Amino acid sequence: MSATVQPRVGSHAAPPRFGGIFWSLARSTNGLMIRFAGHRWNPIFAVVEHVGRRSGRPYAAPVAARRTADGFVVSLAFGAQVDWHRNLVAAGGGTIRWRGRAYRVSAPARIDRTAAMAAFHPIQRFFLRLAAIDGYIQVTDADGAER
């Protein structure tokens, strides 16, 4: 079985940028990352909480995110075909847990790399450039309230 993920037939999504070993490593350490992401002492990683578009089950995924004035900028390290992104689009939004708080957010919208990079801390920008991540989304606060 190949470690890379191929786009679905009829899909315009490209395969994951990193594919192969990094993709497998990220999937196998997902449980560990969930434990660290979203806590108040961790401003780098957030947790996207979403509902499966087919199963209806709740899921959570760690992501690199940064808070903006009205929402979040999130990197698409593995491309737009990842389940959490597709589920947010299908549901019209979800929840992002960041720095110990949960924020209801709208459906994601793709944004320009330059605009996205401005939201990240300089150290994060260095690693995002190093990893050649060029896909970013923005989600806005859905109801203006935090939980």
The beta-carbon contacts of 117-123 under 8 Å, at least 24 apart in sequence, are 119/66, 119/68, 119/73, 120/66, 120/73, 121/43, 121/44, 121/66
Task: Mark the ranges of the chain whose per-residue pLDDT is less than 70.
Answer: 1-33, 144-147
Q: What is the pLDDT of residue 95?
A: 95
SS3 109: strand
- Dihedral sign of CA atoms 147, 56, 142, 122 in order: positive
pTM of the entire predicted model: 0.75
Q: What is the pLDDT of residue 39?
A: 75
CATH topology of domain 20-146: Pnp Oxidase; Chain A (2.30.110)
Q: Where are the domains of the chain?
A: 20-146
- Dihedral sign of CA atoms 6, 8, 14, 17 in order: negative
Q: What is the pLDDT of residue 6?
A: 42
Q: How far apart are CA 68 and CA 136, in angstroms?
A: 13
Q: How far apart are CA 42 and CA 38, in angstroms?
A: 6
